């Protein structure tokens, strides 16, 4: 994919920082945001955007590192959130309009 530079991804560093935080604080860990962007991603055609193998490989590396930290190292991770769909929808404004929330009618409390 054009514009991709994965030379700055460091899954082993993610595992290392998870271990450090666990050993330092002894509290469960919630990874609240993890992901990456691609240079000029907003100029991709829909076909290029859907052929997102770089992001698949990124998450494969980081999730395997997280799994190793949990299973092998005993780090207590209770949550993991990838960058949200809303952040990736920016290049495709029409996608945002199709994601408008629907609300069920509220019933009065008995």
Per-residue confidence in pLDDT tens, the chain, 110 aa: 555 555 578 999 999 999 999 999 999 999 988 887 777 777 888 898 888 888 889 999 999 999 999 999 999 999 998 875 555 555 555 555 554 555 555 555 54
Residue 12 has what pLDDT?
A: 97
Residue 16 has what pLDDT?
A: 98
Q: Which residues contact 70 (CB under 8 A, 6 or more apart)?
A: 76, 77
In this structure, what token pair is assigned to residue 34?
């993890």
Residue 70: other Cβ atoms inside 10 A? 18
Q: Using an 8 Å Cβ cutoff, are 61 and 96 in contact?
A: no
Which one, of 46, 49, 67, 69, lies nearest residue 4 by Cα? Answer: 49
> ∠ CA(76), CA(80), CA(85), 5° rounding?
180
Which one, of 48, 66, 68, 47, lies nearest residue 58 by Cα? Answer: 66
* Distance of alpha carbon 13 from alpha carbon 79, whole angstroms: 18
* Distance of alpha carbon 27 from alpha carbon 30, whole angstroms: 10
């Amino acid at each position: 994919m054009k514009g991709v530079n994965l030379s700055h991804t460091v899954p082993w560093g993610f595992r290392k920082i998870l271990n450090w935080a666990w050993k330092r604080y002894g509290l469960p860990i919630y990874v609240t945001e993890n992901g990456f962007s691609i240079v000029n991603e907003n100029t991709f055609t829909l076909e290029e955007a859907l052929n997102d193998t770089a992001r698949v490989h990124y998450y494969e590396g980081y999730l395997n590192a997280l799994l190793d930290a949990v299973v092998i190292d005993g780090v207590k991770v209770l949550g993991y959130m990838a960058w949200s769909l809303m952040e990736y929808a920016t290049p495709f404004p029409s996608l945002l309009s199709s994601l408008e929330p629907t609300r069920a009618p509220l019933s009065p409390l008995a």
